[in-house]
């Protein structure tokens, strides 16, 4: 069902439209809840692709997508790739958030303990 919504959306809006990224992310969340890590990861890669093509490089949605992908990759057992995306999120957060922001603390913990 969600794939059908996505197909319709892709036909009626420009391919760099951020709503496409949101739809991909929402589908990924559904697959994650169902325990389908392969589809989750696939949709999160598409989320990142759309976000990177439609948003400024330090946008919060890109950070969120990197974090979501890092967690999905971790669940799938791809620890090194998960670390790459967690670090990407952390680098953007360092540029855009105050040094004592709770998000930075959370990401630091994720990097250290994973």
pLDDT in tens, the chain (114 residues): 667 776 776 777 666 667 788 888 999 999 999 999 999 999 999 999 989 988 898 888 898 899 999 999 999 999 999 999 989 988 887 777 656 656 655 655 666 555
For residues 89 and 67, the answer to whether their CB atoms sit within 8 Å is yes
How far is residue 114's CA from residue 105's CA, in Å, rounded to a whole number?
14
- Domains of the chain, CATH where assigned: 2-113 (1.25.40.10)
Scanning 1-114, the segments in alpha helix (DSSP H) are 2-12, 18-33, 37-54, 60-76, 79-96, 102-113
pTM reported for the whole predicted model: 0.79
């Amino acid at each position: 069902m969600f794939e059908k919504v996505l197909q319709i959306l892709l036909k009626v809006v420009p391919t760099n439209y951020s709503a496409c990224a949101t739809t991909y992310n929402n589908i990924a969340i559904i697959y994650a809840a169902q325990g389908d890590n392969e589809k989750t990861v696939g949709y999160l890669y598409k989320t990142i692709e759309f976000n990177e093509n439609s948003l400024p490089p330090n946008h919060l949605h890109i950070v969120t997508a990197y974090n979501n992908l890092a967690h999905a990759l971790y669940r799938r057992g791809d620890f090194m790739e998960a670390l790459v995306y967690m670090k990407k999120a952390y680098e953007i957060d360092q540029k855009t958030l105050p040094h004592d922001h709770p998000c930075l603390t959370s990401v630091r913990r994720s990097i250290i303990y994973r």
